[in-house]
Structure 1
């Protein structure tokens, strides 16, 4: 990243990527995550109080329930979720895809240090570089809300899954109403950006994070988007609604039509 890049940490008040669906934000998101890649894992632990590990474990159990032979982890980032999946299911061939090379480099080193055989590949989630029906399972952990077009992303997920394949999305839904939701919303909008800026040096990235969550579809609406694509869908909330797991099945072979 060059010093005069719009999202450089040297310009903490520079423009941040747009949030929400149908937005031209891919390039801005790519630059932003390239900038914060070296401290991304530390920030995840700090900003979630370490709870994100339990969320990934729950989502991994869903993704591996039917024993997929081939699994694609989209928007893998630095590979935490792909590593959790491979650790739990060594026999599953796991491909980890992301469009930020700096994140992938970190993921490769982490997997190699743990002697885990994971294929890290650069790819655009809205135009996945894989043939139709390539994977029995597909996962996306905390990356889906960054997509420029949710419907197009889901259509790609559908395309590369085998009939009966399983989709698992782990994401932050907008905070619900009530006292807990109000407290979390305050933390998300006022405390989190300050901590993120302090640790990463990039205030814009951690202003984008809460805004992207607030603009994201609520769990019921995301389920409807998945159903409109052709998935049979269910979801559950985690930690009082801070995170949510959506599970979708691409209806097809009768032997795989179990949520």
Structure 2
């Protein structure tokens, strides 16, 4: 797969590249990921903490530091998972109106319990984030984290732009493909080990264990921080900025709807 993915680095238009990603991964996206997240929901945050060698909370705090919030704003958390980002935003600005959307009812049930434990209410919508069931110009802030590799990110980013108010901001966080090939090779080698270790520690089910190769392949065919910035500009976002950690392994993006 490596030779093919290198040819994509700038050789294909974004939409063509998205077509290639979907063709390769559609079966996993549509048939397997629901089962994976249903399996991992109960230990998702703990597994990420272990796999990141204890840096998971730091990554989240770094992402939250990029998000500007104001009293009374309406925020949408896309691919909200266990509501970690929605809860963190409410801690920062308690009068936000937060809506979470995710395809996994199991992840959202965990997220509902975590939010209620802190006295927060987060509206939950279960569905396909490629088609957001919200009106145009509706949200002040939209966040998306740790999920873009499993999506047609161009289509989702276009939908996010539609539901944002003019002047509203899209905040994105995910594992990215590092710009350095040396860092990239070391990254994938570590991920292979950490995925195997966490699968054993948390007794992952068969579906989750069988997706280990997919998680590496999906990342290797994803975008670098600069490529993702270019994609957002291509979709009409303005004031696009990015920040990377660990040599480009993780990236944060901020982009405004004009």
Common fold: TM-score over 0.5: yes
Larger deviation: 32-41 or 78-87? 32-41
Q: Distance in 2 between matches of 1:245 and 1:167?
A: 11
Specify the alignment match of 2:80 in structure 1. Answer: 76
Structure 1 position 214, deviation (Å): 1.5
Structure 1 position 91, deviation (Å): 1.5
Structure 1 position 151, deviation (Å): 1.6
Asked whether 1:213 is paired with 2:214, we answer no
Structure 1 position 177, deviation (Å): 2.2
Q: Distance in 2 between matches of 1:181 and 1:78?
A: 28
- Per the alignment, do residues 180 and 164 of structure 1 end up closer, same or farther by CA in structure 2, a change over 3 Å counting? same
Specify the alignment match of 1:234 in structure 2. Answer: 241
Tell me how many residue pairs correspond in the alignment. Answer: 232
Output the aligned Cα RMSD.
2.1
Q: Distance in 2 between matches of 1:245 and 1:68?
A: 24
Q: 1:146 aligns with which of 144, 150, 161?
A: 150
Alignment of 1:6-25 (within 5 A): 20-21=21-22, 23-24=25-26, 25=29
Specify the alignment match of 2:253 in structure 1. Answer: 246
Deviations 1:193-245 (A, max 9, x none): 31132122431233332222212111111111111111121111023322100
TM-score, reference length from structure 1: 0.82
Asked whether 1:110 is paired with 2:114, we answer yes
Deviations 1:152-207 (A, max 9, x none): 1111001100001100110111134265443322111x302311321224312333
Alignment of 1:1-259 (within 5 A): 20-21=21-22, 23-24=25-26, 25-65=29-69, 69-147=73-151, 149-177=152-180, 179-188=182-191, 190-198=192-200, 199=202, 200-201=204-205, 202-232=208-238, 233-251=240-258
Structure 2 unaligned regions, length at least 5: 1-19
Q: Distance in 2 between matches of 1:117 and 1:243?
A: 29
Contact 1:76 1:141 in 2 (8 A): yes
Q: Distance in 1 between matches of 2:34 and 2:21?
A: 16
Specify the alignment match of 2:14 in structure 1. Answer: none
- Per the alignment, do residues 27 and 244 of structure 1 end up closer, same or farther by CA in structure 2, a change over 3 Å counting? same
Q: Secondary structure at the match of 1:154?
A: helix
- Per the alignment, do residues 207 and 83 of structure 1 end up closer, same or farther by CA in structure 2, a change over 3 Å counting? farther
Q: Distance in 2 between matches of 1:33 and 1:224?
A: 30
